Amino acid sequence: MFIGIHANKLLALMEDKMYLLKNIKLGLFVSVLITLSGCGGVDKGSFTDQQICIATVATTMGRNASIIKIDSIKSNVIYLSYNRQDDGKHWAYRCKLDGNKAIWASDTGRWRTGEYDSRITFSVSGNKINISEKYSDGSGDVKSYSLSQLGG
């Protein structure tokens, strides 16, 4: 009888330890996943967020990247502008990055995230950044820029 009670306590203790060990393993696994998801950032190479936004505005507006200037940065939003070479008219934009997506808006307009707005993504290949613009009809274009073209 004494051995049976002792064996039951031992079995209960082992079950508690197994339960605890299982929860510790699960907790470690979840911690590793959370950590890795934060580390799985987008490869920007040597390009800054500002340079990526310059390339985005140059691509979407069909302008030379050399005329686009950074006006300010507030939180994660980059404010840029350029003077159109033809008539000197001043154009201002906002840009922010979300993973490998670049999102832009005119200085006072809406963010271009609507269903029919183009989708802009970027990728780095060697010392070049590729800005890909895909339209809602499936067509698109890719422009490539070097660091030196973006003021680097």
- Residue 105 near residue 120 (C-beta atoms within 8 A): no
Tens-place pLDDT, residues 126-147: 899 999 999 999 999 999 999 9
End-to-end CA separation in angstroms for the chain: 82
The answer to whether 51 and 147 are in contact (CB under 8 A) is yes
On whether the pTM is more than 0.75, the answer is no
Alpha-carbon distance 150 to 152, whole Å?
A: 6
Model confidence at 12, in pLDDT bands (50, 70, 90)? Answer: low
